[in-house]
Structure 1
Amino acid sequence: MDLEKQPAPQAPPPEGCLTVAIRIPVRIVVLVLVVPVRIVWDGFVVVGRFLRDSVLRPLWRALVVWPCVALWRYVVVPLAKAVGWLAKVLVVIPLVWLYRNVLTPVGHGIVWFLKGVGAVLALIGRGIAWVARGIVAGLAWVYARMFTPVGHGIVWLLKGVGAVLAWIFTPIGRAIVWCARGLAWLASTVVTGIGVALYWIARILLVLPVVALWRWVLAPIGRVLAVVGREVWDALGHAWRIAGHISLAVGRFLGTLFRWIFVEPVRWVYRTVLTPVGHVVRDMVLRPVAEAARSVGRITRAALASARESVRQARADFRRMLFGDAGAVRDVGAVGETREREAVALREPTGAETRTLGSSTTALTKD
């Protein structure tokens, strides 16, 4: 549970009369100017979406996506697999064999040789170190016996020279430092005075006029321009949103008008006129014509069958007349076989009279 007191929300600062006086006319003018622009913009947006969904996307898929997919699937992937297989067979496997059977034994031999060379060099280094230690010990003995007294004398001499220099040159150096400090103070005083004078001259001649110009001229003008710009920006935002609602209403009105003027009449004509006319044409013209065509086809097939039968009979009579009864046996047999086939076809039930167990057209119950 929150026991602390929540701070009260601060009220927005009161607006001046200039803001209120500018806001209404600016919003009216901006609204009048923005509404046509928003309507045209929404029209371009609708056309652009239609072109994007109906033209550009199918073209993009047909010209770019599908060829790229087909190229990747049927060219790049098989080619990459083939190149990988070739690289494995021609490069990787030979390199692995070379590493295992050639480089590894050679490397082991080089390592063994280097170990031997290192052992020899270690023995040589130990000998050189023993000799160097002997030389260093001899040099140290010579230095301790010969150069140490000379070094002590040089040190005593240098100490004496340092004491003489301290008693002579130290007062002179201090005097020089004091003079340098005085000259530096004098120069800094002069430079500071000149800087202060230049500062006040620049402040009086440049800074104060600029501050007065900024405070009494540019700042009020900037505040007015800021108020005008803020109101114009807010008016543009409000006008754009209001123009969007107006454009939506205009679009819906035009869509409704288009539907009433074009779509509904076309739908009414299709449902009320074209559909009944199509049904009438189908029932009164197309179906009778189809039945007539089927009847003509059946009659034509029957006529052709009877003509073929007549031709076979005439040929059988002609052979009988020329060769006797033996020449016409085959034609008569063919005619009898054809008649028997037609009789069997006539005895088969049609689609509308199919044989069933309960009907009287079966082989057990028919008369």
Structure 2
Amino acid sequence: MEFEKTPEPRRPEPEGCLVVALRIPIRIVVLVLVVPVRMVWDALVVVGRFLYGTVLRPVGRALSWLGRAVFVRPFVALWRYVVVPVGKALGWLGHVLLVVPLRLLYMYVLAPVGHGLAWLARGVGAGLEGLYARVLAPIGRGIAWLLKGVGLLFAAAVAWLVRYLVVVPARWVYDWVLVPVGRAVAWFVGAVVTGIGVVLYWTARVLFVLPALALWRWVLAPVGRALAVVVREIGEALGHAWRIAGRISLAVGRALATLFRWVFVEPLRWVYRTVLTPVGHVVRDYVLRPSAEAVRGVGRVVRQALATARDTVRQARADFRRVLFGEPRQPVAVDRGEPSGRETRTLGSSTTALTKD
């Protein structure tokens, strides 16, 4: 048993002969108008990508590097080597000239004076608290009790007078005069407003609603349906034309790319492979390599000459020092009783003074 019914597929609405007659001319006209626009758009896209990859991106990187070199790095250096040291120096100077004297003034002047004033204020407050508790508070309680009794008597008298002089007459007037008059006035006003409302309703219905309903039903709705059909067909035609123009533009672009390849790229490639590459190999084998070998040989000769000159200068400097100061003192070898580095220790040998052979 199925609890939920599967929705039926929506059937396409039947199209009239007017729609079918307008569709093909509209699509042909739109295709003729859209193809040049699509080709120009694709050409602009290709040119934009080429300019972005070859001009805008390198120029942007150069401007970024120039901006960092001209603005960022000088400001960073100024901040790091001028502003920060000056700020630290000013902070230290402010600490020494302001913070330390103020701290000493607070610790050794203001704090003792404040403690003395606080002790004096506590003494005065204790005296005033005793005066309030023992003198002023009892007097105030007595005066308050007396005023409370007088106030209660006066309030009771005023309440009795207001009740029998104001409230009771006002209630009688409200019950027997104002309520009947108000009900009569409300019934009359309601009847008048109801009549005026009915008259205005039928007047507005006859003068505005019925003509507007007829205009909507017999004029605006048919014209709107026709415009909706035209707009829908134009939109669908634009979509089909844009897709078809894209394929046409792609085919034209591929044809132009193939033509450019066979006219320019392939001849240049053939010239590179058959002419420039052999010439380059010949230049490399018979010109560049011998030149490089000759340059390397000259470099080796120059390095050997420089090494020989350095050795000669070093030897002449040593001979001059020997003539002026004599032969240097040779270090005397001292026997420390330690084995040489070449001998190895074994279980039967020792290097200590007590077990040395």
Report the TM-score when normalising by structure 1: 0.64
Following superposition of structure 1 onto structure 2, how do residues 190-205 of structure 1 map, counting pairs within 5 Å?
A: 190-205=192-207
Which amino acid is 2:139 matched to?
A: I
Q: Which residue of 2 aligns with 1:55?
A: 55
Q: Which moved more, 1:234-243 or 1:116-125?
A: 116-125
Task: Map Cα deviations across residues 103-143 of structure 1 (whole Å, 9 max, x no partner).
Answer: 37617717646643652464355246434413312313543
Inter-partner Cα distance in structure 2 for 1:104 and 1:232: 89
Give me the identity figure in percent: 45
- 2:338 is aligned to none
Aligned residue number for residue 214 of structure 2? 212
- What corresponds to 1:138 in structure 2? 142
When residues 141 and 74 of structure 1 are mapped into structure 2, their CA distance, relative to the original with a 3 A threshold, is closer
SS of residue matched to 1:211:
helix
Q: For residue 38 of structure 1, report the CA deviation from its aligned partner.
A: 0.5
Q: Secondary structure at the match of 1:7?
A: coil
Q: Quick one: which of 227, 230, 241 aligns to 1:228?
A: 230
Question: What is the distance in 2 between the residues matched to 1:29 and 1:203?
Answer: 47
**Equivalent residues in 2 for 1:191-340, closer than 5 Å:** 191-272=193-274, 278=279
Cα 1:138–1:66 change in 2 (3 A) is same
Q: Which residue of 2 aligns with 1:40?
A: 40
Q: Is the aligned partner of 1:123 residue 2:122?
A: no
- Rounded to whole Å, the distance in 1 between the matches of 2:144 and 2:53 is 98
**What is the number of equivalent residue pairs in this alignment?**
281
- Provide the residue aligned with 2:156 in structure 1: 155
Kindly report the root-mean-square deviation, in angstroms, between the aligned alpha carbons of the 2 structures. 3.7
Change (3 A) 1:250 1:192: same
Amino acid at match of 1:221: V
- Distance in 1 of aligned mates of 2:156 and 2:281: 140
- Deviation by residue 1:280-327 (Cα, 9 ceiling, x = unmatched): 9969xx87xx99xx9xxxxxxxxxxxxxxxxxxxxxxxxxxxxxxxxx
Task: Say if 1:255 and 1:172 are closer, same or farther in 2 by CA, change over 3 A.
Answer: same
Larger relative contact order (Cα-Cα within 8 Å, sequence gap ≥ 6): 2
Q: 1:90 to 1:216 in 2, by over 3 A?
A: same
Counterpart Cα distance in 1 of 2:198 and 2:95: 84
The CA distance in 2 between the partners of 1:142 and 1:191, in whole Å, is 62
If you compute each CA radius of gyration, which structure gives the higher value, 1 or 2? 1
In 2, the alpha carbon distance for the partners of 1:189 and 1:170 equals 29
**Cα-to-partner distance string for 1:187-231 (whole Å, 9 max, x where unaligned):** 232122112211210111011111211122112211221222122
CA shift at 1:247, angstroms? 0.8
**Cα distance in structure 2, aligned partners of 1:71 and 1:10:** 68
Q: Does the residue aligned with 1:14 lie in a helix, a strand or coil?
A: coil
Distance 1:111 1:38 in 2: 88
Equivalent AA in structure 1 for residue 147 of structure 2? Y
| 1:11 is aligned to 2:10 | yes
* 1:40-97: CA deviation from partner (whole Å, max 9, x where unpaired): 11111111221222122222222x2011222455312221223123212212673388
Alignment-mate amino acid for residue 211 of structure 1: L
Letter in structure 2 aligned against 1:192: T
- Pair 173,60 (structure 1): closer, same or farther in 2 beyond 3 Å: same
Structure 1 residues 104 and 7: CA distance shift in structure 2, 3 A: farther
User: Structure 1, unaligned stretches of length 5 or more?
Assistant: 295-367
Classify the secondary structure of the residue corresponding to 2:13: coil
Output the TM-score relative to the length of structure 2: 0.65
